[in-house]
Structures are given as C-alpha cells and as structure tokens.
A = this chain, B = another copy of it.
Amino acid sequence: MHLSKLFIPVTKNLPAEAKIKSHQLMLRTGMIKQSSAGIYSWLPLGFKVMKKIEQIVREEQNFIGAQEMLMPTIQSSEIWKESGRYDDYGEEMLRIKDRQGREMLYGPTNEELITDIFRSSVKSYKSLPQLLYHIQWKFRDEIRPRFGVMRCKEFYMKDAYSFDLSDEDARKSYNKMFYSYLKTFERLGLKAIPMAADTGPIGGDLSHEFIILADTGESQIYADKDVFEIEIDKYNFDDKSLEKMRKDFTNIYAVTDDKFKEEEFNKRVKKEKQIKTKGIEVGHIFYFSDKYSKPMNCLIDDKDGKKTSVKMGSYGIGVSRLVGATIEANYNNNIMKWPKSISPFDVVIIPSISKNNKENLEKAEKIYQELKKQNIDVLLDDVEENMSNKFKKHDLIGVPYQIIVGSKSENEKYEFKEVNSKSEMLSLDKIKIKLKI
C-alpha cells in the first residue's frame, strides 16, 4: 500500500476526553473516528490491526476444538426474562421496541441466547462436551464512555460457551480455554497474567481474569515475578497436563485490588519478586455451572437416562479492546511498536524525497515490488515531506520494521531498522530474510 493512497484521516484536534495514550494514538493515526459518544468507526489502519487480532483469537479457539458460529446482535427480551436478567441488568442494556411493540435488546452478552440454541437441539450426554464461540459486536449503554475503544458502547468481543455433563468434565473444558487464552495472548505479543477472580454465589475456584501489564491500567495488581517464568509450551494438550498447568499458575501469587492483603503478599512472595503495578483486563473466563441452564430448563439425558441441567461456562476476550490495550502496553517514550503478529504492515519503506529528486522514490518503488512478490505486506511512504516529519509520523504508526532509502543507501544496501533498535546497512536479500523470520 502507498501511504498517499491509504485512507488515514487523522484527528488533529484531540478531544478533551482523549486522556490515555491509546485513545490519543488511535485518533492521531486515523485508526478510528468517533461517530457518536462511545461509538467508533474503524478506519483502514485500525481495522487491519483488529482483524489480525480476531484471526489469532479464532485460530486458538479452533485449536482447542471450539466451533465458530454467529449469534445476532438483536435479541428478544423473552429469554432474558427466563433467566431473570432482564430486570437485573439495568440501564446498560440497550432496550429497543420494534415496530410491532415487541421488547428487543442489543445483546451485551450471550449466555441466554446460546442456552436457548442448545436446549432446543442437544438432548443427550453423547453430544457432550461441546465448545461454541462467536465473535460479534455487542453493546453496553455506558453512562460515561471513556478511554476510546477501551470502554466504549459498541465493542467487538469473542465469547465462547462450554457445555458439559458434570462439574468434573466442565473443569476440563475450563482448562482448555485457560490454555487457549495463554497461547492467544502470547501470539499477540502480550504478557497476560491469569488472576483468580470472584466467583460470587457460584463458588469454587473457576474464574480468572487475564490481565496485561500497563502503567495506565485500571486495575491495581500484585503478583509474584515467577508468574512470567512458566512456559506454556511445556504442557501437552491433554486433560492431565492442562490441569497441572492451571494449578501451576494458580499456585503463584497474583491478585487484583479487591483480593489483595498486604500481609499475605509479603508472606508468600519474597521482596525481590514482588510486582506492584497496574493492568488492563483483556479476558475473563468463568464457570457458572447451571446458573442459566437451570432456570432456562436446558436439560440433558445422562448415562442412566436421568435428566440433568447442563453445566456451562463462558469465556470472553475483548477483541476491539485489545487494540487499545496493546497500544497501552507497547507505546512508550512517544514511540509505538506493534507486535509483529498484529502490525498493520510488516514493514514500511521510507524514502527521502525532494521536489527535484525522485531517485530515492524510484528505488523505494523497486524494493516495494520486490517485497510484495514475497507476500510481505509493505507500506511505502511516498508522501513528499521532510524526513524528520516522516519519522515522527512513523513513530506513531508503529510498523516495527523500517527500510530507509536516503543518502546512506549505496551499493544496493539500505538502512534497515527495527523500531527501538539501531539501524544497519543490509542488502535487500538480507532484509527479506529478516522480515520472514
């Protein structure tokens, strides 16, 4: 893509409410544009990043055997009345009356709808376990939307649901998702810590928030450094190994504000291993047993032909939120560097261009064509602008690799730079190899 052709309308006058760096960066680089309070359009640059995140989430859900489907955004109020949440949910639920006066709503989540689908089709334990997920827009009518895409009204989310016959089986499904989440965040270039979360009246230990470290996070977190030392790759994808993995994680101290006790922290974690920082929640998994299946009468025949409420869990990842969260975690000292796996482009070519000299631009075009042939997704900055402005711009756009075509380029060697590292003079062949690793 040539930068001059890319539809990248930057917001020049930042609105007062753009207080955190991800919100500012996304407006400044034309990734998003607000259409009304808490509702955004995703412009090409932001859209590309979000789609890449979505695809990684999808692949890791498929890997554990979850099946993708898609539930609609608009739901009937009926099923929410069955579960008892229609009244409980409060004003954050966007309630709608259709032209015939029927009470509808814009789904803020999908426990009711998936239970409704499941109860009308699956009748026997033989069809279990089952993992279903979808990636769909949801809506919460936040009274005070803020932080850009991090707390907005219309947001994109992956939510998965597990269906099992017993608590014991449900634990296996839970562990699979736990594993999937760790792998997902790792591929997104994020350090995510699973933290025991409140299970409320459900009880048990099967509720975890996945939190990434970021100074600007909303949650205060306290953890043992060891939590970063666990390597996921050492676990196999079988029930026993996954159970061990979850236990290994949960044996290490890591809590948010509400569960924090100074005394316990000091007792369990050595001073030099204590982390006190802030974090952003990017995922939440939760086992809630028959909370919905019971009132909604979602019954399964067990091995003895006895009817029993199916045991369910739900598993969310905020896909649109992750775009903002990744910026919070990676935008430092006014320089953004996208993780390679979700960068809007693999590399940017930055030629020095002047009115009277288009030689560098021509060289850049050649490199562009060459890299395109290798299926490398290249951005070519063909805008006529001085290099200092260009570099400032690319500090924000955040493509992790740059090829600078300027006075230094000679003997078919070009200045190649990984953001936040020193540049080196490399031939195009060497650059190709670097980009393909």
Contacts and interface: CB of A to CB of B under 8 A. Distances in A.
A235 interface: no
A44 interface: yes
A35 B141 CA distance: 23
A228 interface: no
A101 to B, nearest CB: 11
Contact of A67 (B6, B73, B113, B116): B6
A44 B68 contact: yes
Interface string A203-244: 000000000000000000000000000000000000000000
A98 B94 contact: yes
A275 B75 CA distance: 43
A102 B67 CA distance: 38
B69 A35 contact: no
A69 B96 contact: no
A202 interface: no
Interface in A72-88: 72-76, 78
Contacts of A76: 35-36, 39
A153 interface: yes
A30 B120 CA distance: 12
A143 interface: yes
A344 to B, nearest CB: 12
A30 B118 CA distance: 12
A139 B47 CA distance: 22
Interface in A121-166: 121-122, 130, 132, 137, 139, 141, 143, 153-154
A71 B6 contact: no
A139 B74 contact: yes
A70 B42 CA distance: 5
Copies of this chain? 2
A43 interface: yes
A44 to B, nearest CB: 5
A391 interface: no
Contacts of A47: 68-70
Contacts of A104: 36
A74 B44 contact: no
29 contacts: A5-B65, A9-B117, A9-B122, A30-B121, A33-B117, A35-B72, A35-B75, A35-B116, A39-B74, A39-B75, A41-B70, A41-B71, A42-B69, A44-B67, A44-B68, A44-B132, A47-B68, A47-B69, A47-B70, A50-B70, A72-B137, A73-B73, A73-B154, A74-B106, A74-B139, A74-B153, A74-B154, A99-B141, A100-B143
Given A5-B65, A47-B69, 16 more contacts: A9-B122, A33-B117, A33-B121, A35-B72, A35-B75, A35-B113, A36-B76, A36-B102, A39-B76, A42-B71, A74-B106, A74-B153, A91-B99, A98-B141, A99-B141, A99-B143
